[in-house]
Amino acid sequence: MPSDDGFIEFQGVTKRFADHRGAAIDVVEPLTLSIARGEFVVFVGPSGCGKTTVMRMVGGLETPSEGAIMLQGREITGPSREKGMVFQAYSSFPWLTVLGNVRFGLRYRRDLTAVEKDRIARHYLDLVKLTPFADFYVNRISGGMRQRVAIARTLAADPLVLLMDEPFGALDALTRERLQLQLLELQKTERKTVIFVTHDVDEAVLLADRVIVFSARPARVLRDLRVGALLPAERSLDLQESATFRQLRQEVLALIRDEEERTEAAELAAAS
């Protein structure tokens, strides 16, 4: 049973899609889950398992087929500024400058004056260390910087929950590491509730307070690992060398591998 003080509550949430013949495909099995305020939750699982769908339902970009998702006790019915989203690709607008993109996060706030919006935008630009690039168009900056622009823009909008859909998935390994550390750094001051989807197990264990491992489609929670209780609060890349980290990583990897082998066997059986 979900606890009463859950910040985000999944209450028996399912999702079915129709395939090209109109037959129903179960993507998410009844899911009941509770996420606390300020928690950094990472969803991992075999590819195509429905973890992104679960996150998109929190964002209001998909509607549950059954059940409901509550945010601070109110049911999520559609997208809004309360649920900020960072995508892997096309995350920032090419027709706007770096500062323009961050300021876009505040565009639909009626409670702020133009001066305040400018100040907040510059603050978040500074937080992701992009102030020198304020007037650059985003096509002029690297992929890693573009993702930082997207993060700054989403934070500037001051969402209750930050949803990140493989935000570092398209970056090279070194840039990805740098951004992971910067995100941890940001999280120290911002203390946002984050749902982060990735297929990179190292990334999951490094960033998370809590790793949720999903099964192959239809998605079901295989393991709910509170890594925050096992790892030090101060995270660094050296942590990856520690025994605890490696053990956690092995545990998650083994679960995902089993799932992937199981689905492949099932697909083979279905094909023959």
Partner 1 sequence: MRPVEAAIRDRAATATKPGAHDGGGGTVASAPTPRQEKAWRGLFRFRTPVRPDIELWVGIGAFAIVLGAWLLATESQLVQPQFLPSPLAVVEAWWGLFQNDYLSDIGISVGRVWIAFAASAVIAIPLGMLMSSYRAVGAFSEPLIDFVRYLPVPALVPLTLIWLGIGEGSKIALLWIGTFFQLVLLIADDARRVPKEFIETGRTLGAGDWALMKDVLFRAMLPSMVDSLRVTLGWCWTYLLIAEIVASNSGIGYELWTARRYGKTPEVFAGILTIGIIGLASDQLIRAGHRRAFRYLA
Pairing relationship of beta strands 40-44 and 66-71 according to DSSP bridges: unpaired
* Residue among 28 and 163 whose Cβ is closer to partner 1: 163
- 159-178 mask for partner 1 (x: CB under 8 A)? x---x---------------
Q: Kindly tell me which of 81 and 122 has the beta carbon lying closer to partner 1.
A: 81
Q: Kindly tell me which of 139 and 189 has the beta carbon lying closer to partner 1.
A: 139
Query: Least distance in Å: CB of 77 to partner 1?
Result: 13
C-alpha 143/C-alpha 116 separation (Å) is: 29
- In our burial notation (b when 16+ CB lie closer than 10 A, e otherwise), range 88-109 reads beebbeeebbbbbbbbbbbeee
Nearer to partner 1, 46 or 144 (CB): 144
104 binds partner 1 (CB under 8 A): yes
Contact call for residue 113 and partner 1 (CB under 8 A): no
| Separation of CA 135 from chain center | 28
Nearer residue to partner 1 within complex by CB, 94 or 232: 94
Q: Which of 25, 75, 77, 107 binds partner 1 (CB under 8 A)?
A: 107
Answer yes or no whether residue 137 interacts with partner 1 by CB under 8 A. Answer: yes
CB of 153 to partner 1, least distance (A): 7
Identify which of residues 109 and 199 has a Cβ nearer to partner 1 in the complex.
Answer: 109
Site string for partner 1, 59-98 (x = CB under 8 A): xxx-----------------xxx-xxx-x-xxx-xxx---
- The angle formed by the CA atoms of residues 179, 185 and 189, to the nearest 5 degrees, is 140
Under rule CB under 8 A, residue 108 binds partner 1? yes
**Which residues here bind partner 1, judged by CB under 8 A?**
59-61, 79-81, 83-85, 87, 89-91, 93-95, 104-105, 107-109, 137-139, 150, 153-154, 157, 159, 163
